[in-house]
Structure 1
């Protein structure tokens, strides 16, 4: 696990203009995907590796100090991810410096994310998104068949 996001009792849009309450990794994945989209929007020149670095460097550390199996690098802190002064990943002089939040949020030491871990994370996130879309389409299709 690299980062943690809320995944219990998440309200989201549902069918027929209604809302639903969901729990699970699909909801957490959607939150992280949205965070990535916002970071990409604000910082369009960041590489995928730098986006992940920004997310992990600004996550709120929970559990054991540093990366742990329960929370990864911590809980997603979107405000810090969008506002913290995070030194570039390729700047070795700043690699050990902690980011400084410019508008709230708790900064944690920046992790080192290897290329293979980044690739694995991106493939996993992509697969989860595809699985979520397929399941959603199957549920919608099933409900339409039941309604006709």
Structure 2
């Protein structure tokens, strides 16, 4: 019998809200004050993801923090995920396929760097463009079921 890897909802872990509130406050200070830290996050956010989520990942699946779905040799290689729609209750959406994650993240990071480097954009324009870029990269792939 195949053992299914554990589901992971970091936000459901005891102490998550307090720990993340504290850490995100510190992180914002670091990002504003440290150019190298900012650039490292834009170059590869996996280290930041690992840093933020490692303490919440299941102990027998540490790769849940800081590893893209679709990564060969990990339990995330063929990991498909879905979530219930918050806008359309009763609908579940499957997010991008595991094999697409790396290319979508590369596109997201490139677009983000380009937008941040645009000297003609104001802060509001950058925010809107970054939001669109994020949604385009991370948006669910397709509905997978509807409850009556």
Normalising by the residue count of structure 1, what TM-score does the alignment of the two structures yield? 0.25
Normalising by the residue count of structure 2, what TM-score does the alignment of the two structures yield? 0.25
